[in-house]
Amino acid sequence: MRNILFRLVAATLFFGVHSAGLRAQSPGAAQDRDDRMPITTSSPEARALFEQGIVAWENLRLPRAIDCWRSAIQKDPNFLLAHVYILERIPDPDQQAAEQKKVVALMDSVTPDERLMAEWVLAEDRNDIIAAVASMNELLARNPKDKHLLWFAALSLGAKYKQWERAAELSEQALKIDPDFAGALNNQGYNYAFLGQFDKAFPIMRHYIEVLPREPNPEDSYAEILRMAGHFGEALEHYDAALRMEPNFGESLLGVADTYALMGEEDKARTRYNIATEHAYTKAYAAKWKLRWATTFVREKHFPEADAAFLEAARMARENSLAVTEAEAYRMMALYQPDYPTALHWLEKAEQSLSHSQDTSASAREEELAMIQRTAIYHALQHGRLRVAADALAQLKKLNDDSHNPNIEIAYHASAGMLLMAGKKWLEAIPHLEEGASDPFSMKLLVTAYREAGLAAKSERTARELVSLNAPTIDQALVVAEFRAQRTRAAANKPRNDRQ
């Protein structure tokens, strides 16, 4: 399926891009093909507020962006694109559901391009990714010079579906239109970083800072990419630079906490996570960030404290009707449990949580369900229950076959690879595990699979990539630190001649 998605995305690359202006368009006016897509509104003030929101979003000023779009809707309640953008960015499920209804009700009152935009976002929410990408492609084909649409598409494909190469191609198109386009510079820096191409990412981020020297997000983004590369000291310097501009900039408060966590300074990280949570944009972000706070106890192998912390995060999520985040907390708890019944208990709790809310998008719910099943397969294999693992994999395969979501497909292939590894079928496991090659669990198995299959160079390259993985996730906490220690011990025990 990912090949289908890649072909759909690649279709956008056949359309040329040139410089574009930013002229407003009144309702009913003919669209200028050299301009941006049409924006239907009865109020020039609403249009201006909408544009301000776009710029704020591209600079990661999310509260300001949502405030601008809501103000635009007050000027024009039928402003479809303002509702679409709020739906795209608001993380709270009940607000998402309310915006979905408004978008659907307004779709027949706008231009075909705006309808395509709405269909794109709605299809993503219902987990119909092929339909979403098809709408995206058609919209980009009709508006090949709209750098903001290219940026939106690149952001969606990268951040949501980890299609970093395709996101980089779209970001490059936006930068050909405007080399100083801040949103695309930010996107491209992350695209290259997630591809491991830090030599390309760093100069882009420095240019991003030059373009917006008084905004905190360029410093914040550069800091995060430095942290990903393992340059923790420099990362903290740039986070501090962002916080000097705006002391309550939530992303940088979070980034400082993430950096301390990866440095092994977990007490300091927990203090910083608490500060970040107090300044989170919404309750949904606060609950998500609470999961990272809980993960610090896992890094220290203080598992009873980790249990209590994840339960606190789950309670926060439940009180705010955040079913997926609650399920995520229980699933994370299951990951590190040493005994099978306890792990199953928390996985059952996770699955039950997903049935509590009707407002959660199908895409988010099914992605989390796939991760629950993947974790169930992991524990079944850890405890020698091959039949249970095979049955769970069959369920996950059905979920994947019924979906066009790349994240669900990655979960399926990672699980299939795990089961094949348990049977020592190295060559059969490798293509499955390669689908999730940036995931610590899959990377660790790939190191073994490559080595056992006689692919020593690939095994060593993957091992080095795993050692250098710096992400504030529970997967990284459980896998990377132990793997680094194993590598260090193995190197120390090698005969001197072998080290040369």
Q: Is residue 378 part of a domain?
A: no
Residue 214 within a domain: yes
Q: How far apart are CA 460 and CA 451, in angstroms?
A: 8
Q: pLDDT at position 3, please?
A: 44
Averaged pLDDT, groups of 10, the chain, 500 residues long? 44 36 31 67 95 89 92 95 90 83 92 94 86 92 92 90 92 95 96 96 98 95 98 98 96 97 98 96 93 98 98 96 95 97 97 80 90 97 96 96 89 96 97 89 97 97 95 96 89 65
Q: State residue 227's pLDDT score.
A: 98
Closest residue by Cα to residue 154 from 141, 173, 138: 173
What is the DSSP secondary structure assignment for residue 440, as one 8-state letter?
A: H
Domain membership of residue 255 (yes or no) is yes
Cα 387 to Cα 377: distance, rounded to the nearest angstrom? 10
CB distance 259 to 236 below 8 Å: yes
Q: How many CA atoms lie within 13 A of 151 on its CB side?
A: 24
Within a domain: 229:
yes
CATH of the domain at 220: 1.25.40.10
First to last CA, the chain: 45
Q: Is residue 145 part of a domain?
A: no
Q: Do residues 5 and 133 touch, judged by C-beta distance below 8 A?
A: yes
Q: Are 318 and 349 in contact (CB under 8 A)?
A: no
305: phi then psi, degrees, rounded to nearest 5: -65, -35
Q: Do the domain assignments include residue 39? A: no
Among 292, 281, 367, 286, which residue's Cα sits nearest to residue 327? 367
CB-CB neighbours of 6 under 10 Å: 15
Q: What pLDDT does residue 489 have?
A: 86
User: What pLDDT, on a 0 to 100 scale, did the predictor assign at position 359?
Assistant: 62
Interatomic CA distance for residues 231 and 111, integer angstroms: 48
Using CB atoms within 10 A of its CB, is residue 406 exposed (0-12), middle (13-18) or buried (19+)? Answer: buried
Overall size of the chain counted in residues? 500
Residue 360 near residue 324 (C-beta atoms within 8 A): yes
Q: DSSP alpha helices (H): ranges in 31-146?
A: 44-58, 62-75, 80-89, 93-106, 112-125, 129-142
Does residue 233 lie within any of the structural domains?
Answer: yes
Q: Find out whether 366 and 126 touch, Cβ atoms under 8 Å.
A: no
What's the pLDDT score for residue 361? Answer: 78
What element of type H or E holds 439? none
The number of folded domains in the chain is 1
pTM for the structure as a whole: 0.87
User: Is there a domain that residue 211 lies in?
Assistant: yes
List Cβ neighbours of 402 (8 Å cut-off, separation of 6 or more): none
The domain containing residue 186 runs over which residues?
A: 181-281
